Amino acid sequence: MLDPALLRPGRFDRQVVVPIPDIDGREKILAVHMKKVPLAPDVNARTIARGTPGFSGADLANLVNEAALLAARRNKRLVAMQEFEDAKDKVMMGTERKSMVMTEDEKKMTAYHEAGHALVSLNEPASDPIHKATIIPRGRALGMVMRLPERDNYSYHRDKMHANLAVAMGGRVAEEIIFGHDKVSSGASGDIQYATDLARNMVTKWGMSDKLGPLQYEASQEGYLGMGQTTRTMAGSETNKLIDAEIKELVEAGLKRATEVLTEQEDKLHLLAQALLEYETLSGEEINRLMKDGKIDRPDQPAGPAILPPSQGSSVPKAGKRFGGSGEAPQGA
Amino acid sequence: MLDPALLRPGRFDRQVVVPIPDIDGREKILAVHMKKVPLAPDVNARTIARGTPGFSGADLANLVNEAALLAARRNKRLVAMQEFEDAKDKVMMGTERKSMVMTEDEKKMTAYHEAGHALVSLNEPASDPIHKATIIPRGRALGMVMRLPERDNYSYHRDKMHANLAVAMGGRVAEEIIFGHDKVSSGASGDIQYATDLARNMVTKWGMSDKLGPLQYEASQEGYLGMGQTTRTMAGSETNKLIDAEIKELVEAGLKRATEVLTEQEDKLHLLAQALLEYETLSGEEINRLMKDGKIDRPDQPAGPAILPPSQGSSVPKAGKRFGGSGEAPQGA
Amino acid sequence: MLDPALLRPGRFDRQVVVPIPDIDGREKILAVHMKKVPLAPDVNARTIARGTPGFSGADLANLVNEAALLAARRNKRLVAMQEFEDAKDKVMMGTERKSMVMTEDEKKMTAYHEAGHALVSLNEPASDPIHKATIIPRGRALGMVMRLPERDNYSYHRDKMHANLAVAMGGRVAEEIIFGHDKVSSGASGDIQYATDLARNMVTKWGMSDKLGPLQYEASQEGYLGMGQTTRTMAGSETNKLIDAEIKELVEAGLKRATEVLTEQEDKLHLLAQALLEYETLSGEEINRLMKDGKIDRPDQPAGPAILPPSQGSSVPKAGKRFGGSGEAPQGA
Amino acid sequence: MLDPALLRPGRFDRQVVVPIPDIDGREKILAVHMKKVPLAPDVNARTIARGTPGFSGADLANLVNEAALLAARRNKRLVAMQEFEDAKDKVMMGTERKSMVMTEDEKKMTAYHEAGHALVSLNEPASDPIHKATIIPRGRALGMVMRLPERDNYSYHRDKMHANLAVAMGGRVAEEIIFGHDKVSSGASGDIQYATDLARNMVTKWGMSDKLGPLQYEASQEGYLGMGQTTRTMAGSETNKLIDAEIKELVEAGLKRATEVLTEQEDKLHLLAQALLEYETLSGEEINRLMKDGKIDRPDQPAGPAILPPSQGSSVPKAGKRFGGSGEAPQGA
Amino acid sequence: MLDPALLRPGRFDRQVVVPIPDIDGREKILAVHMKKVPLAPDVNARTIARGTPGFSGADLANLVNEAALLAARRNKRLVAMQEFEDAKDKVMMGTERKSMVMTEDEKKMTAYHEAGHALVSLNEPASDPIHKATIIPRGRALGMVMRLPERDNYSYHRDKMHANLAVAMGGRVAEEIIFGHDKVSSGASGDIQYATDLARNMVTKWGMSDKLGPLQYEASQEGYLGMGQTTRTMAGSETNKLIDAEIKELVEAGLKRATEVLTEQEDKLHLLAQALLEYETLSGEEINRLMKDGKIDRPDQPAGPAILPPSQGSSVPKAGKRFGGSGEAPQGA
Amino acid sequence: MLDPALLRPGRFDRQVVVPIPDIDGREKILAVHMKKVPLAPDVNARTIARGTPGFSGADLANLVNEAALLAARRNKRLVAMQEFEDAKDKVMMGTERKSMVMTEDEKKMTAYHEAGHALVSLNEPASDPIHKATIIPRGRALGMVMRLPERDNYSYHRDKMHANLAVAMGGRVAEEIIFGHDKVSSGASGDIQYATDLARNMVTKWGMSDKLGPLQYEASQEGYLGMGQTTRTMAGSETNKLIDAEIKELVEAGLKRATEVLTEQEDKLHLLAQALLEYETLSGEEINRLMKDGKIDRPDQPAGPAILPPSQGSSVPKAGKRFGGSGEAPQGA
């Protein structure tokens, strides 16, 4: 009838979610899987572990496997660091869908959408640094901006939450600024869901709203036949009104911040989007150079990363600037 | 207790639903199924793939099968491009129900309903072009306007959404203009459901309402024993009131646009409906010609497409102008 | 996450429910079942098919079976058209319960209740014509007015909906006019449910309320363990208030119309109810004649249709005017 | 998507629930069961059938069985009409619990409670006549007033509903008048539930409220794992407020009526309650005589019906005026 | 569709819950179980039956069993009346937990809590008399006041309900008066639940609120997979507001009454609590004597009832005044 | 239909939850498990039992097992008191995660979070004394303050509840004071949930709100397929509004108290956090000394408790001040 835990000896702590391996754990997991693969001398498990924060054990197994497949397709006897780098992108961002024939309009809109995310991210100090931005379709996405923290990250602070809300809004805002109100697309629905969920957690679980205070207003239940369910535990209609208003205010503050950044830096937005249209994929480093120097220097190869297309052979000629080479082109990515 | 995804490395993207094959995928799928069928020299898998955006793998398998059945019924040894064209209509729009004996009144009302959809579509620049309009019953429909994009389509923009809302309302509006308030039928319930669902997604998932902002207000759950469920995740009564009002405003804006178009162009509505009553099925091209020249030129055959009636033999004499020929009549459809 | 159907090529149509066979289908189904039965020369499947719109395949199988049983009980070697006619009533209206001993008061109230339905129906041009009216208890009903369209019917127009609302209210209104406020019975609960459901569909699914517009406000779910469920998809309390008010207004408009008709034509109400008390069952034709000439001419037999009582033999003597003959009395019904 | 029944040929009727056998049915069912039992010449199945309206098939089987057991316990070779009469009470009202030792206070309160029901019933012309009133505990009841219609009853009119509401309130009101506000007991909970359910049906299913009109506001569902469920189908809060108020008004009108009757006729209430305390069980006939003559004439036996106690032998001596005889005492009950 | 019970012959009654055996039943049940046990001559089943109102069949079986175990532990060949008396306490109040080491503060608070219940009970004429009060932990309780009616009780009157509400509040009120606002404990949660449930039943099922009248506002459902559920059947928000207010008023009236009694008789509260601290368990008789004479006379033994500790042997020395003797100490309890 | 418990003989008591063994129980359970282990002479089951209030039987079995494992890893033949002490921490606080590489910033924030909890606890007289404070990650926690009552505790008083609310808020408040509004983290979500649950119980189950009185407003259900559910049993919206407000007021009073303490004693907060950064784990005794003397005297070993790292061998060198020794270092902890 009454919660025994409330009578037990008290324990107060600072809790985080640590369900994924830390750097030591990743190194050990990589070591296990690498035993089955012939490695080139340049491969260092610790270096790879450092560059893969947030990877689960299954992600790491997958990474080693993909690296081996890439080496085979490239006719190499040993799996080198380059293969691990390329495999990391595939695991993190999904398989490329090079065969998708997008119109120029769609490509242009995607480029500005991703450039919007990226430019807001560059202007938010608390945001994780950009790993890559791309307009090559991958999985269910037409384009993507991937950010990666520099090391294992156990804390999630208010300034980073606000930054993430602004970055999430960057894609939609860029669409609106460049193509106008009428051409805004449904492609931001994932961003919208992310931002709403984050703002809801801030208000109802993490005590980040001054008006609602440090109380829990929503409880998740493991649910019923595996179906997660979230219920408001405070049921008064005034409370619900206030929660809705606070969530909305948080998301719209992100929208406002994104709008300010992208309106003021519309020239940089064009620069970044054009670079994406030209090179299709940009590394975080290249984006930084572009912002600083106004240009990117790539040796001899105008566009396209070294990642190979899916292994199933295809006799259909590819369109335009894209290609699916099979060599071991040395790239800066 | 707290969503791990919110702590993981960030990924922002422009998402679309790509669960159906793109043009390359369709070409490959067609190639597989065509191997089992004797093809005429004029058949080109790429051409068929280009004309079937939105078809799933099962649809394409069905298409090849239906084309083969048609050729057999037409006593042809090889399956030609004509059979693939006719089979495409059957797969897209359902089996014709030629035996349904409709009254002249019902036929007339259907003709104006479909003409309404078609005429609004012609006046909405963002609408996909019309593939066919018909008043031959198919599946659960008494008539139909089928639109088909010119190529694979990955983006869904606000102007197209508004266009679709107006086109959806065109049928009901035409009924009201021509037959009056008392004769409006329940036949628009599918259109009403489509428009309400679209407007709801615009407001609650795609951030298309300025008043509600870029937030997610409704979440779909895969549900329980396979029963999909949609729940409002914002629970305040003020929020619900605003959502209802915004959805209503969007649908009624479509209704207003459809009413404007059809009131101004009532002569064209008559023209189109009369042509449907005369020819029963019109291609998009014929509709365009009709709108431009005021008439349609068909060689010698007044009405009825080349699609054969269902294969089960029937000894019951067919009524009126319809027929279920088995020849290879050369048609413009 | 986002409904794929909204991205697929668009299709707008005029939908109806056609889950039951049309006239051709019925003819074929009858043909199959009639093969097992020795038919009299006067039997024509097409004629029976024309007279049974709305019958499902199972209804038709049942019809042939009942006709055969009737012929057997009448000691006939061949099943004639008369048997099919009588079997049709049994299938449509349920088994008669001749053994039910109703008081004169109950019979009188039933007669006025059915006369109320019938008289309103005669005054509503959009109503389907009356097939039969009866005060012989059948199934769960003490009496019944059965209407039958003249042919297959695929459209359901607003004027017919309003007519049906008025006809549904006719029974209750007649009870109140004749027997007074205190004697109104619970026997109208089926009519009340029918009218409420119809009005609800008009408002929430068919867009027939100007105040609520062409939106879907209620969705049916196939549900859970076979239990259908209907949920309001618009959740605002203002919306719910408006929906309730519109449904009430529609039903009460039917009530008002029924009250006007029956108050003005109270003499005809008496005439019709008295005829029902005298003859127990009246055909639509007889009712028309009664309304026109003020009387019905039946050759020599005062009351009771030719349909036989249930087959299980009963040794208990039947009361009053009823009888359960076994002859082949030639009737006008 | 849309209810097919609404498109089918229309049928309007006056429906009742007839799930229980009518008089002919009861006679036949009795005949079947009586074959297994040696009957005295005075037994007439038709007479018993006439006296058991509302009995189900199982009730009738039980009735014959109990009559046989009674005869055996009374050492009779043949089952006579008297046994059927006594068995009828047991089936209708439950097994007597003679061993229950109630205090004089409890007996007195029960007597006034039942007298209250009975006296209100006598004053309501639309009420069914009283069959018996008793203060011998049966089943879960400390006392009981059993009413029985004079014949099969298919109609349920507004005046009878109002009468039943008043009769239901009679027990509670009598407690309050005689023993005062403080001594009112929880024993009226069954009456309260009955009255609330009846009033709810009047308002939400039978259209008996002028303010809410002839609409259905509540639907019952066969439910889920056999659990019946009733849902309000009109969801607006104004509607719910009105429904609650109308139900309350109906029940409280019954309360007012009962209060008027019992206050005006307090002398008769005492008379009736005293008779119940003296005789424990009174037949309807005796009650009528008591009301008319102010007394009851019973030959020689002051109290206690002829019904025997439960068959399991008991060696415990019984208290007070009660006895469990085994003879065939000739009674007026 | 419509509740058949509403059409059946009417039955109005005064219902109670009699799921437990009455005195005769208890005597018979005891007789069955006593056959297996060697009884001392002083044992009388009727006497025990009289002293165990409210015991179920399982309770009685348990009682005989515990008495036999006690006799064995006391090295007696026959089970005497004393053993039955002691076993009765164990069955009614749960096993003692003598090993629980409570602080003096906890013991004191418990003593005043129980004294509060007891003193209010003594001041409420409609309350059942106290059987025992104890501060020896039993089951989940740190202390207990057990009341026992003098005989089988079938009626539950309003004055007794009000008394029970006050008695329930007595424990919490005593804590507050003696130890102050800050030291009030969660130990009253069971009393709070009891009082709330009782008040809810009074308002929503037993018609004890004048504002809400004799209506049923809440229905219990046997529920779903064994999970009982209670739903408000009146859904208007005004109704819910009124119900909440009435329940609160009833409970707070009990609180007010308890506060008045305990404030006025604080000296008696101290007297009773001190006696509990000294003797740990007091019989109702002793409490009455204490209230009258200001002291209790116990022959030679200062504290502790004759009930033995749980049978599992324990070598741990017991603390303080408690002991677990095994003799047949002659006690007044 | 009506709760039988309400009619049964009444029982009022002071209930607590005693599902865990008391000191005697713990001693016996320990004795059973210790039989399987070679014990050093200094081991005393009673002493361990006294130091483990709140431990379940499974916790105690685990404790003995962990102590044995520690002795084995330390190459000791007998399990001594030291091993039991170290094992107790592991069982109470979870396994250490020494391999987690936290940044200095994260460590610093954790140190202030835990120092906040600890300092508020020291200032709340009703709080249980601190057992240990640590910033070594354990289980899902980055740091922890563990409190342990001095003996078995059966009462939960209002002053302790208020103290616990303040202590729970101490972590979040310290973050805000030291690192500012922007750096507040999601790490307090567990504290927020604890405080909200406690405040809810105070208001809805324990009658601790004067505005809501001693009523039960929320009932827990064992639920459905093991899914606990809590429902508000009072449904009026005014009631819900009041409950929400009272819960919020209680939690915010704790927040205010924590803010006062930590603002006034910011110097002590720095002192405590710095000590945690230096020594990583502090015993309650050390914290008391630090608060009194401004310093901690540890013999020769600067930091790190004697608890060994997880048993799986790891060849990765550990970072910084931590170490995982295997000796029997004599510690003050």
Q: What is the pLDDT of residue F323?
A: 26
> Does any domain span residue E141?
yes
d(CA B128, nearest CA chain A) in Å: 15
| CA distances from residue B252 to B170, B246, B248, B258, C5 in whole angstroms, order as listed | 12, 10, 6, 10, 22
Chain D neighbors (3+ CB pairs < 8 Å): B, C, E, F
d(CA A234, nearest CA chain B) in Å: 11
| Domain identity same for C286 and C146 | yes
B2 touches chain F (CB under 8 A): yes
Structure tokens belonging to residue C215:
């939106």
Structure tokens belonging to residue A294:
């106004």
E2 touches chain C (CB under 8 A): yes
Task: Kindly give, in sequence order, each residue whose CB lies less than 8 Å from that of residue D214, ignoring residues fewer than 6 positions away.
Answer: C169, C172, C188, C191, C192, C195, C251, C252, C255, D207
In chain A, residues 298-327 whose CB comes closer than 8 Å to chain C:
none
DSSP secondary structure code for residue F2 in this structure:
-
Question: Among the listed ranges D168-172, E256-260, E308-312, F197-201, which one has the minimum average pLDDT value?
Answer: E308-312
User: How far, in Å, CA of F188 to CA of F175, rounded?
Assistant: 10
E150 φ, ψ (degrees, to nearest 5): -75, -20
Q: What CATH number does residue D271 fall under?
A: 1.20.58.760
The vertex-E28 CA angle with E25 and E32, nearest 5°, equals: 140
User: How far, in Å, CA of B218 to CA of F47, rounded?
Assistant: 57
From chain B, the residues in CB contact with C200 under 8 A are: none
Query: Considering CB atoms only, which of E102, E114, E190 is closest to F154?
Result: E102
User: How far, in Å, CA of E155 to CA of C228, rounded?
Assistant: 44
Q: What is the mean pLDDT of residues C300-323?
A: 35
Amino acid (1-letter code) at residue E42? D
Mean pLDDT taken over chain E: 82
CA A9 to chain centre: 41
> Does any domain span residue C219?
yes
| Domain identity same for E221 and E168 | yes
**Alpha helices (runs of H) in chain F, residue ranges in sequence order:** 23-34, 45-50, 57-73, 81-93, 104-123, 158-179, 189-204, 237-264, 266-279, 284-293
A318 close to A98: Cβ distance less than 8 angstroms = yes
C221 touches chain B (CB under 8 A): yes
d(CA E190, nearest CA chain A) in Å: 8
Query: Considering CB atoms only, which of B14, B158, B205 is closest to A182?
Result: B158
> Does any domain span residue B178?
yes
Above 90 in pLDDT, residue D91?
no
Selected catalytic residue, list A27, A66, A96, A114: A114
User: How far, in Å, CA of F310 to CA of F314, rounded?
Assistant: 9
Q: Which residue has the tokens 């066969």?
A: D222
Selected catalytic residue, list B66, B83, B114, B176: B114
From chain D, the residues in CB contact with C103 under 8 A are: 151
From chain D, the residues in CB contact with F1 under 8 A are: 189-190, 193
Above 60 in pLDDT, residue E17?
no
CB contact under 8 A, F13 and E227: no
| Domain identity same for B143 and B79 | no
User: How far, in Å, CA of E133 to CA of E146, rounded?
Assistant: 6
- Per-residue model confidence as pLDDT tens digits over B308-319: 333 333 332 322
pLDDT band for D315, please (50, 70, 90 cuts).
very low
Query: In DSSP terms, which residues pair with A232 in a beta bridge?
Result: A218
C107 close to C135: Cβ distance less than 8 angstroms = yes
| Domain identity same for F286 and F159 | yes
> Does any domain span residue E136?
yes
| Domain identity same for D141 and D282 | yes
C96 φ, ψ (degrees, to nearest 5): -70, 150
C2 touches chain A (CB under 8 A): yes
C228 touches chain B (CB under 8 A): no
Give the dihedral of Cα atoms C34, C36, C38, C39; nearest 10 deg. 10
Selected catalytic residue, list E27, E66, E96, E114: E114
Question: Among the listed ranges A184-193, C117-126, F14-23, F121-130, which one has the minimum average pLDDT value?
Answer: F14-23
Choose the final residue of a domain: F93, F119, F150: F93
DSSP secondary structure code for residue D233 in this structure:
S
CB contact under 8 A, F1 and D189: yes
D146 close to D93: Cβ distance less than 8 angstroms = yes
Query: Considering CB atoms only, which of B154, B159, B236 is closest to A240?
Result: B236
**What is the domain extent for residue A59?**
23-93
From chain E, the residues in CB contact with A1 under 8 A are: 189-190, 193
Q: Which residues of B17-38 are buried (b: 16+ CB within 10 A; e: fewer)?
A: bbebbbbbbbbbbbeebbeeee
> Does any domain span residue E262?
yes
Give the dihedral of Cα atoms B14, B20, B25, B31; nearest 10 deg. -170
pLDDT band for A111, please (50, 70, 90 cuts).
very high
- CB-defined contacts E:F, below 8 A: 207
CB contact under 8 A, C1 and A193: yes
| Domain identity same for A281 and A260 | yes
| Domain identity same for C235 and C109 | yes
| Domain identity same for F285 and F221 | yes
Nearest CA in chain A to B24: A99
User: How far, in Å, CA of E36 to CA of E53, rounded?
Assistant: 23
Nearest CA in chain C to D7: C156
Q: Which residues of F are catalytic?
A: 114
**Alpha helices (runs of H) in F187-331, residue ranges in sequence order:** 189-204, 237-264, 266-279, 284-293
Give the dihedral of Cα atoms F35, F36, F37, F43; nearest 10 deg. -20
CB contact under 8 A, D3 and C137: no
| Domain identity same for B125 and B260 | yes
* Per-residue model confidence as pLDDT tens for chain F (333 residues): 334 445 555 667 776 655 678 888 899 999 999 999 999 999 999 999 988 888 888 889 999 999 999 999 999 999 999 999 989 988 888 878 777 778 899 999 999 999 999 999 999 999 999 999 999 988 778 899 998 887 777 788 999 999 999 999 999 999 999 999 999 999 898 899 899 999 999 999 999 999 999 999 987 655 444 445 566 677 788 899 999 999 999 999 999 999 999 999 999 999 999 999 999 999 999 999 999 999 988 875 544 443 333 333 333 232 222 222 223 233 332
C186 touches chain E (CB under 8 A): yes
> Does any domain span residue D37?
yes
CB contact under 8 A, A114 and B157: no
Q: What is the pLDDT of residue F20?
A: 74
From chain D, the residues in CB contact with C240 under 8 A are: 235-237
E235 touches chain C (CB under 8 A): no
Question: Among the listed ranges B87-91, B262-266, B309-313, F50-54, which one has the minimum average pLDDT value?
Answer: B309-313
Report which secondary-structure segment, H or E, holds B134: strand B130-134
From chain A, the residues in CB contact with B239 under 8 A are: 241, 244
D221 touches chain F (CB under 8 A): no
Q: What CATH number does residue B27 fall under?
A: 1.10.8.60
B26 touches chain C (CB under 8 A): no
CB contact under 8 A, D197 and E216: yes
DSSP secondary structure code for residue D14 in this structure:
E
From chain D, the residues in CB contact with F2 under 8 A are: 186, 189
- Per-residue model confidence as pLDDT tens digits over B166-184: 999 999 999 999 999 999 9
Q: Identify whether A114 is a catalytic site residue.
A: yes
d(CA C4, nearest CA chain A) in Å: 12
From chain A, the residues in CB contact with C2 under 8 A are: 186, 189
Chain B neighbors (3+ CB pairs < 8 Å): A, C, D, F
CB contact under 8 A, C247 and D216: no
- Per-residue model confidence as pLDDT tens digits over B127-144: 999 999 999 988 778 899
pLDDT, greater one: D223 or D275: D275
| Domain identity same for D36 and D184 | no
Q: Is the pTM of this model over 0.90?
A: no
| Domain identity same for C272 and C148 | yes
D253 touches chain E (CB under 8 A): no
Choose the final residue of a domain: B39, B68, B93: B93
Choose the final residue of a domain: F93, F117, F143: F93
| CA distances from residue E109 to B193, E174, E177, E256, F163 in whole angstroms, order as listed | 66, 9, 11, 21, 20
The vertex-B322 CA angle with B317 and B328, nearest 5°, equals: 100
Task: Using DSSP, state whether A218 is helix, strand or coil.
Answer: strand
B3 touches chain A (CB under 8 A): yes
Chain C neighbors (3+ CB pairs < 8 Å): A, B, D, E
| Domain identity same for D163 and D273 | yes
Nearest to A136, CA basis, from A291, A280, A306, A282: A280
- Per-residue model confidence as pLDDT tens digits over D186-214: 989 889 989 999 999 999 999 999 999 99
CB contact under 8 A, E2 and C189: yes
Nearest CA in chain D to F7: D186
Q: What is the pLDDT of residue F215?
A: 95
Nearest to F7, CA basis, from E194, C236, D224, E10: E194
CB contact under 8 A, A186 and C1: no
> Does any domain span residue C16?
no
Please, what is the angle between helix F237-264 and helix A237-264, to 10°?
60
d(CA A88, nearest CA chain B) in Å: 13
DSSP secondary structure code for residue B130 in this structure:
E
User: How far, in Å, CA of D171 to CA of D193, rounded?
Assistant: 13
C183 close to C192: Cβ distance less than 8 angstroms = no
Mean pLDDT taken over chain D: 82
In chain A, residues 154-173 whose CB comes closer than 8 Å to chain F:
154-159, 161
Q: What is the ipTM of this complex?
A: 0.82
CB contact under 8 A, C144 and D12: yes
Q: How many domains would you assign to chain F?
A: 2
Kindly report each contact of residues C289-294 with a partner whose C-beta sits within 8 Å and lies 24 or more positions away, as own/partner: C291/C122
> Does any domain span residue F144?
yes
- CB-defined contacts C:D, below 8 A: 209
Report which secondary-structure segment, H or E, holds B242: helix B237-264
